[in-house]
Amino acid sequence: MSFQITDQTACLSRRKIVTVFITCAAVDLASLIDQNALAVALPRISSALGSGDQISWIVVAYFITATSFQLLYSSLSNIWSRKLVLLAGLGIFFTGSLAASFVTNITQLIIFRAFTGIGGGGLITLVQIIVGDVVSLRERGKWQGILGAVVALSHGVGPIIGGKIISYSADSWRWIFRLNLFTSAFTTLMVLFFMPLKKVEGHWKAKLKSIDFFGAALNLSGSILLILGLSWGGVNFSWLSLRIIFTLSIGGILMIAFLLWQWKGAKQPILPLGIFKSRMVMGITYATFACGWNYLVQIFLIPTFYQLAYGYSPLKAASMLIPVTLVQTASSTLSGLFVTWRGRYREPLIFGYSMWALGIGLHSSLSPSSSLAMQLGYAVLTGFGAGQTFQPSLIAIQAGKASCIVSYLTSRIFIIEVNEISMHYFIRDIGGTFGLAVAGTIISKSVRDTLAQAVEKGHTNLSTVQVEMILKDPTRVIFAKNELPSTTADMIHTLVLSAYLRAFRRVFYLGTALGVSTFLVAIFFIPQVDLSNNKSEEEERQAKSNESQTNEKNSADVGV
């Protein structure tokens, strides 16, 4: 009743590789169109459900479960094959989106977005694992650059789609989730017909016993408690309150228990700590966490920033992401081609981190008098810097594996690469999840403090109840001035805009500090590893083919 995890890499013709990559691109689009269409709709959804103070949780709930299940997906795909696990993820994604489109309150939406995240967490991770299965490390830069362009393109198209959908009516935001039904169904058909499958044999009971469900549960519960504590602190409760101290303490204990379990308890850990023995991997892990923080905050909050701090319409706010994503698309493709051409990832990383930090820093200098050209220029700089880092950072963490990791995990290189890929996306998205939670806390507390100070100084006669109403539904003040008393409408409108501008500025300050730190880490902790030592693509395919034939002769379990 036992089975052996085997290599799932595949020897494919170039034509078949192209087909696989088109399918992978469709999977990426299905996942990311959802996220980015939702980004611009957050203020409208929070207004419809009367929950502006919980706006960040619509996104955070998705990423908590998505990040927690990413590592589990890599283990599941080693056991049940990439294709079957990918189809399961698409099914969960479809079901969660369907349920989210019928919610009647914010609690239901948060729950169903968390459920959707269980499926969504595996989509992008499995795509990158499949990339590792079919192309060599050096060639990966070119192919991942193409996928990176698809990802960046979805970040540009998604907000426009979302802005257009929510412009029809107060309730039309539900069609953002219903759109997922069409994209995920179409993608499922592509995976069924175009993604190759090689089964991993073995009894289902033995397969289940090999999965580290306990580790996944520790990671999920610890992450939820830590993010809850960071979201509540200073907004719902004092940082020194017993509830916050207890929540953060238990969350920290659970995360420590998760790491100890991965180190000593798990037979097949979902996060093998042996990876972190490499100084280079430690450096790129920190950079990935910080960039994940900045990236998700940038994607989800820039449209919200222009709606709440500048009073732009949802469609115009969404269009402010276009220069970011168009330049990001070109930059991501160029960086992937550079790695393939020169065999070097360090220069794009250093250059990209520096430009990214500069772009975020310049966003913090924006004021009501800043011209549109200035806003677009800063967006271009931010997008160019971000695009330079996506593919090189993944290649760097794969190139940084040391011989000690081989003995720690297994003698099979493919499992090392699968764990590095899933770890990369886990670290990136957990950074983004914490970033969104902290940014939401900063914005809520800053706006509340600004309005309270204005009341205290006599600049406005808003009551405590009115302040709470503004926090729950800021769009009502910003986009519906006619609902306010004519004598105070302009003053309150200006006050709310300035309060949100100040709040977002603090978020940009923090993002700039993180960006500068990643630049320094890239210089001092991420050396260049010679990628030319890796086999050529054709040599790797031949080696994999020979190994597969040997495995079949020995009646070993068959991989993908």
Answer yes or no: do 447 and 388 share one domain: yes
Kindly state the tokens that stand for 106. 């914010």
Residue 243's H or E segment, with its range, is helix 242-260
Tell me the pLDDT band of 76, cut-offs 50, 70 and 90.
confident
* CB-facing half-sphere around the CA of 85: CA atoms within 13 A: 28
Answer yes or no: do 153 and 231 share one domain: no
CA distances to 80, 187, 361 from 85, in Å: 7, 14, 41
* pLDDT per position as a tens digit, 156-203: 788 889 988 988 888 899 999 999 999 999 999 999 998 876 666 666
Answer yes or no: do 222 and 327 share one domain: no
- The segment with the largest mean pLDDT, out of 321-325, 478-482, 503-507, is 503-507
The arithmetic mean of pLDDT across residues 135-150, rounded, is 68
Report the residue count for the chain: 560
523 within some domain: yes
Q: Which domain holds residue 107?
A: 14-212+267-527+535-553
Rounded to 10 degrees, the C-alpha dihedral 53/56/62/68 comes to: -110
The single residue listed with the structure tokens 């994940």 is: 292
| Rg value, the chain, Cα | 24
**Given CA atoms 118, 124, 129, 133 in this order, what sign does their dihedral have?**
positive
294 within some domain: yes
8 within some domain: no
Number of structural domains the chain divides into: 2
Beta-carbon contacts of residue 386 (< 8 Å; ≥ 6 apart): 291, 294, 295, 298, 324, 328, 331, 352, 356, 359
The single residue listed with the structure tokens 């980004």 is: 39
What's the CA gap between 431 and 469, in Å, rounded? Answer: 31
DSSP letter for each residue of 518-559: HHHHHHHH-----GGGSPPHHHHHHHHHHHHHHHHHTTPPP-
Q: What confidence score (pLDDT) does residue 192 get?
A: 92
Answer yes or no: do 398 and 540 share one domain: yes
Q: What confidence score (pLDDT) does residue 495 get?
A: 86
Question: What mean pLDDT is reported for the chain?
Answer: 81
Q: Do residues 202 and 2 make contact, with C-beta atoms less than 8 angstroms apart?
A: yes
For the ranges 33-37, 104-108, 469-473, the lowest mean pLDDT is seen at 469-473
Answer yes or no: do 257 and 279 share one domain: no
Answer yes or no: do 247 and 277 share one domain: no
DSSP letter for each residue of 252-313: HHHHHHHHHIIIII-SS-SS-GGGGGSHHHHHHHHHHHHHHHHHHHHHHHHHHHHHHTT---
9 within some domain: no
2 within some domain: no
- On the question of pLDDT at 145 being above 80, the answer is no
What's the CA gap between 216 and 98, in Å, rounded? Answer: 26
CATH of the domain at 146: 1.20.1250.20
Q: Please give the residue that has the higher pLDDT: either 148 or 191.
A: 191
Prediction pTM value:
0.79
